[in-house]
Structure formats: structure tokens, C-alpha cells
Amino acid sequence: MTHPIDAPAWSALLLGLAALFAGIGALRKPGIWRTMLEEIEGSPTLQFLCGLLELLIGTLVYLANPRAPADVLACVMKGLGGLMMIEAIAILGFVDIYTQFWLRSLTHMHRGWAMSTVAFGLALNMAGAMRFN
């Protein structure tokens, strides 16, 4: 007997865990995201790898989740996958503009972005976990 995988639940849970712990890490070590962005900005190799990795993950999330208008979580995850692909393309093509935007934003709102990331991760975790029996 086969058991289908609930792709929206797993996608939400895994992306939620990544966001949750990225936010916790940023709260534990203020300035770490800024340092990471400065390193990415200074390395064409890191720029390419970050863009390519996000494109891959976004594509997997987008393709793994069905187009089911009645399934809100599937629609949200498909949308997040699409947004990740758009962001990846922006990173690959316009990394200098894109990193400057985030560097300016993180200067004044580091704690706010970190707390928002934690909240977003918790929301995705709860949405994904509620689908498991």
C-alpha cells in the first residue's frame, strides 16, 4: 500500500525550520546577516552559487506543490516557490543593486527582520505540522 507524500506540509515544515533557525541565529549574533551579504557582494562565485541554490530550492518547492485552489497551504507554498525563483533571478542578474538594498535595510532594522523571520518560520511550521496525522 502506498502512502502519498503531503508536499505542501513537508515544504512548509522544512522552509519554516530554515527560516526559524536563521532568525534565531541572527538574533543570537547581531550583524551576521550583514556580514554574510557583504561577503556575497564581494565574491562573484558566492553570488552565482547563492542565486543558483535559491533557484533550485524555489523550483523544487514550486514544482512539488500541486495547483489546488481548494488547498490554501499548497497555494501559499507554490507562491513562495515562485517568489524564490524571482528573487534568485534578481540575485543572478542584479546582485549589486539587490545586496545594497538589503544592506541599507539591515542597518536600521536588523532585529525587526530577524523577529519577522522567526515569526514567519513559526507560522510555516505550524501550518505544515497541522497537516500531519
pTM for the complete prediction?
0.87
pLDDT of residue 41: 86
Contacts (Cβ under 8 Å, ≥6 apart) of 80: 11, 15, 58, 61
Give the residue extent of every domain in the chain. 7-129
| CB neighbour class for 2 (10 Å; exposed up to 12, middle 13-18, buried from 19) | exposed
pLDDT of residue 104: 81
- What is the mean pLDDT for each group of 10 consecutive residues in the chain (133 residues)? 83 96 94 88 92 96 93 95 96 88 79 93 96 80
pLDDT of residue 2: 66
